[in-house]
Amino acid sequence: MSLTKVTYSMIVGAETNILDYIPATEHTAILAGTSTYDCGPDITTAINALKGTSKTKALYFPQGTYNVDTTITINSLIGFKFFGDGTRATIINYTPASGSLFYFTVYVSNVFYDMAFYSAEIANLSRTNICFRLNGTGGGTEMLFQNVFINGFHTAVRTKDAVGNEDTVTFNSCYFWSNIYVWDNSNEQAVSWTFNTCQVLYTTGIVFYN
């Protein structure tokens, strides 16, 4: 049997392809970057399906554009990898002008790499949307972003919500373009945040709000 990127997650221990959870009728448009389908619920379903299993907890996003119209809420996620084919190839496009693309409550040792996260509201300075909202409750440690591009959000990463959390987040070789805030830690909930070889361009507000 020949294997494609869509079917190779059938192998025990292989990464799970997000297209396995998205209707086949949407695949061509997603891979071509022309789809208007909301992938948010399917991404949430894939994450929840992998939690608590013995399978490798790695979710692969092939080259394409994945629109998300709803918040992806993630609770108690441990040792999970999200990865794509590069910042110019795999794009998660969050369409609302408000709300959060990803909302993590409790997390340990999760990684995002080789992906881009776009907001469709790049020209709207009144937007309030957030790319990664960490720790509404519970706290989290060891979140790593590697070769990630975050573009056009009000806030790229927010860790201000709860009291007494101990966030530790690292960014390696990441790009932050056209965001109003790169980091909002105004309640000083993050214990450690590290930026290594990152680039910030066209920020219209405060880069680090602590």
- Cα separation of 160 and 194, whole Å? 16
Percent of residues in the chain assigned helix, strand, coil, to nearest 5: 15, 45, 40
pLDDT in tens, 87-125: 999 999 999 999 999 998 878 889 999 999 999 755 556
Query: Any idea what DSSP says for residue 13?
Result: T
pLDDT in tens, 42-84: 999 999 988 876 667 899 999 999 999 999 998 888 889 999 9
User: How much is the CA Rg of the chain, to the nearest whole Å?
Assistant: 16
Q: Does the reported pTM lie above 0.85? A: yes
- Cα separation of 43 and 35, whole Å? 15
